[in-house]
């Protein structure tokens, strides 16, 4: 699917974008892979790992999704867009709400308009569990972005650009996650814990990239793809990172949830369950009628279904978490 295609990744120098580039360059032969981001230092660092001398198909483009003209220029001739650019730090978004809106909402709108006008084939956006029943400003902006992408698929017209969303949990070891914090605090002999009851969905970056690529292959447009993920207790992660290290309960940060939700009960009526994922179908009846005819194997979820990190049959043990953390070293 990606061979001989022009692929652009917004936020391409972030944790997910770097992992995606590594997988794409190892497994496919794209005509061009465009890394679009606003951080020139990260682009320089990434170019040392994926240099154009070894990977002549890679192109680094400085730009911000807030800049409509720059986004239009960058998407000229592009076949596939992976939209990973976002302001994602929950406390920072709470302190700077308008900045989060500008990037996560207005920036997404720029990507959508440019993709339609430049006749991009497929756009798949990275979502977050914080967009389901959001309590934080970050979650609210990501929910708004999701709605923009799903509505764009409807307004783009049949046979035109297709838009879908992949909704993930927390990426193990990504910038801003709790794992780097625990690793930094371990030498000090005390780990901060928000709440001993806190749970999270957990996924590694390679797993996330693999899932997104499978969704890119099978997307019809207008869906939200949700992987089946294991849950973990934050206290168990602390035990895995620093066995025997005492913890201190510091309370929740602004906008922080005790448990995360990937699928709310309100979305259950239009959700199908598959072996490795859930698919939230388009809310618009006419889109569902056009796109769902050839869907096979999916089982409708009960109307009271809710997919949350505290009610999940799949849990990671301390030993499993320790092995995952060790694999990152």
For the annotated catalytic residues, the residue numbers are 130
8 Å CB contact between 23 and 210? yes
What are the C-alpha distances in Å from 236 to residues 66, 189, 283, 317, 324? 39, 16, 38, 7, 13
Using H for helix, E for strand and C for coil, what is the string for 117-180?
HCCCCEEEEEEEHHHCCCCCHHHHHHHHHHHHHHHHHHHCCCCCCEEEEEEECEECCCCCCHHH
In sequence order, the 6+-apart residues with CB closer than 8 A to the CB of 289 are: none
Angle (nearest 5°) at CA 315 between 164 and 312: 60
Among the residues of the chain, which ranges form H helices? Answer: 15-27, 40-49, 68-74, 90-95, 97-100, 107-117, 137-155, 178-185, 205-218, 234-241, 285-291, 318-328
Using DSSP bridges, classify how beta strands 122-128 and 80-83 pair: parallel, antiparallel or unpaired.
parallel
Q: What are the phi and psi torsion angles at 191 (to 5°)?
A: -105, 130
8 Å CB contact between 268 and 240? no
């Amino acid at each position: 699917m990606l061979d001989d295609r022009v692929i652009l990744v917004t936020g391409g120098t972030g944790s997910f974008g770097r992992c995606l580039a590594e997988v794409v360059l190892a497994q496919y032969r794209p005509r061009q892979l465009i890394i679009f981001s606003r951080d020139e230092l990260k682009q320089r660092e990434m170019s040392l790992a994926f240099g154009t001398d070894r990977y002549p198909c890679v192109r680094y483009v400085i730009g911000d999704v807030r800049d409509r003209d720059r986004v239009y220029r960058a998407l000229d001739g592009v076949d596939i867009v992976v939209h990973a650019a976002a302001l994602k730090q929950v406390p920072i978004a709470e302190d700077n709400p308008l900045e989060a809106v500008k990037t996560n909402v207005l920036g997404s709108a720029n990507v959508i308009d440019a993709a339609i006008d430049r006749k991009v084939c497929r756009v798949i956006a990275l979502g977050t569990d914080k967009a389901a029943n959001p309590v934080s400003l970050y979650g609210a902006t990501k929910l708004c972005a999701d709605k923009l992408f799903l509505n764009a698929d409807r307004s783009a017209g049949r046979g035109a650009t297709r838009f879908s969303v992949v909704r993930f949990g927390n990426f193990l070891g990504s910038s801003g996650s709790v794992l780097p914090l625990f690793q930094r605090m371990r030498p000090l002999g005390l780990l901060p814990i928000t709440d001993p009851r806190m749970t999270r969905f957990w996924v590694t970056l390679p797993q996330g990239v693999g899932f997104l690529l499978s969704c890119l292959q099978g997307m019809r447009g207008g869906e939200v793809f949700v992987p089946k993920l294991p849950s973990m207790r934050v206290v168990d992660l602390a035990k895995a990172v620093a066995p025997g290290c005492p913890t201190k309960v510091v309370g929740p940060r602004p906008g922080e949830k005790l448990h995360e939700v990937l699928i709310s009960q309100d979305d259950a009526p239009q959700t199908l369950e598959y072996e490795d994922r859930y698919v939230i179908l388009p809310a618009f009846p006419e889109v569902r009628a056009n796109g769902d005819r050839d869907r096979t194997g999916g089982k409708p979820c009960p109307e009271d279904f809710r997919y949350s990190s505290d009610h999940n049959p799949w849990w990671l043990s301390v030993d499993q978490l320790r092995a995952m953390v060790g694999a990152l070293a």
